[in-house]
Amino acid sequence: MTVTWTIFRREFASFFVTPTAYIIAAGFMLFTGVFFSQEFQVAAVRRIPINPATIPSLVSYMLVFFAPLFTMRLFAEEKREGTVELLLTAPVSEASIVVAKFMAAWAYVTILLGITLVYQAILATYAPQDIGHTILAYIGIWLYSGTVISIGMMFSALTENQIVSAFSSLLTLLILYVGDGVGGIIGNIQLSEIMRSLSLEAHYSTSFAAGLFRAEDAAFYAGVIVIMLFLTMRILESNRWR
């Protein structure tokens, strides 16, 4: 646990010593701010309430593009610079390395999600909000964010090229995001069901974003995270013995 905590602190701190993390955060807040402003103006003019899941739902789309940007460096950068060998030859398990890096990236995204709570505070001054709906929307997007991070990290472990890592994870996340829509137009029923069951968005929009908690959706995200972390550990293990 001490080793994991040490690696976590190093990785988490690394997000704030490079301009990349600040650029990503600035872009993240810019997109959410502009979108919220537009939605708020429309709601004020029409005198209609704003869905508390509006911003989290936007974030679910944004993470498809933003997550590969900050996960691509987790292992690819260390492979390129040769520092990953130091980690692999140190008396530390692959599990400690992977879990620490994953939790550091997830903590960074959690901070970004926390900042968006300011929009919920603004909505609360505009009209009474469904607190339960808001909490479930954020629990869902938090689990969703952990899932996309785990996928991006796995691709980062596969290569030392950050661009290849980012593109591979982006393509995969995009396919998983639109899986529900693709499943709706596929003629084959069995294939359609498979696409929908693997859709990241479908497990969020039909439950958490709607103010509902379904155990199977939470289990889906948790399951993907565990599988991706396991695969990343095995990839690192293969690198250790090369």
Over residues 142-158, the mean pLDDT reads 93
- pLDDT on residue 205: 86
Over residues 195-202, the mean pLDDT reads 79
Domain enclosing residue 36, as ranges: 2-240
170 band by pLDDT with thresholds 50, 70 and 90: very high
Please indicate, yes or no, whether the overall pTM of this predicted structure exceeds 0.85.
yes
- pLDDT on residue 104: 93
What is the tens place of the pLDDT at every residue in 50-89? 788 888 999 999 999 989 988 888 887 777 766 666 666 6
Structure tokens at 5: 């905590």
Beta strands (DSSP E) in the chain are none
- pLDDT on residue 10: 85
**Residue 221 in contact with residue 144, Cβ under 8 Å?**
yes
Q: How far apart are CA 242 and CA 239, in angstroms?
A: 5
Q: How far apart are CA 56 and CA 136, in angstroms?
A: 10
Does the pLDDT at position 105 exceed 90?
yes
Does the pLDDT at position 123 exceed 60?
yes
Over residues 157-186, the mean pLDDT reads 80
Q: How far is CA 43 from its chain centroid?
A: 29
* 3-state SS assignment for residue 43: helix
* 3-state SS assignment for residue 233: helix
Q: How many domains, the chain?
A: 1
**Residue 233 in contact with residue 95, Cβ under 8 Å?**
yes
Identify the H or E element spanning 49: none
Structure tokens at 166: 């980012």
Main-chain dihedrals φ then ψ at residue 144, nearest 5 degrees: -60, -45
Main-chain dihedrals φ then ψ at residue 16, nearest 5 degrees: -110, 10
**Residue 67 in contact with residue 169, Cβ under 8 Å?**
yes
**Residue 155 in contact with residue 169, Cβ under 8 Å?**
yes
Over residues 133-155, the mean pLDDT reads 94
Does the pLDDT at position 242 exceed 90?
no
Q: How far apart are CA 119 and CA 110, in angstroms?
A: 15
Over residues 11-23, the mean pLDDT reads 83
